[in-house]
Amino acid sequence: MSMLRHGSWMVLSTTLAGCFMFGVHGIGVFLGAASYGLFLALLNLVNFSTILSPGIQTVFAYETADAKTEQDRQVLAGNVVGGNLGFLTLLLGAGVLNSFLVFPAELGPGRVEDA
């Protein structure tokens, strides 16, 4: 593929991402004020989680372009799988840690029952 074609896909995907990020706020009509505030907080969490994405994409693009032999492709596949498993482990660990920090009484051994 040529550089012009790659650039065109990048422009199209960035434009669509911007449209979707703007259009997702239309859901606020159906939510109450508190629910919409929670929705915005979670949306900001997603935005913060994508900060590292351009750098990681650049590294994997260079590694993919540099993989010329079958052994290089196998190493690249291992790096992709390892990166995905590492990210999944980090995500699950953060979820478990968050659940114990936000809801410690409901999850811990000293659970307090409502009277």
Q: What is the pLDDT of residue 47?
A: 79
Rounded CA-CA distance 83/86 in Å is 5
Given a contact cutoff of 8 angstroms between Cβ atoms, the answer to whether 13 and 21 are in contact is no
Q: Residue 15's pLDDT is what?
A: 92
Q: How far apart are CA 45 and CA 59, in angstroms?
A: 24
pLDDT tens, residue order, the chain (115 aa): 576 777 888 899 989 988 988 888 888 888 888 888 888 888 887 777 788 788 888 888 888 888 889 998 999 899 889 988 988 898 888 878 877 776 655 555 555 554 4
| H-helix or E-strand spanning residue 52 | none
Q: What radius of gyration, in Å, describes the C-alpha atoms of the chain?
A: 21
Structure tokens at 69: 């032999």
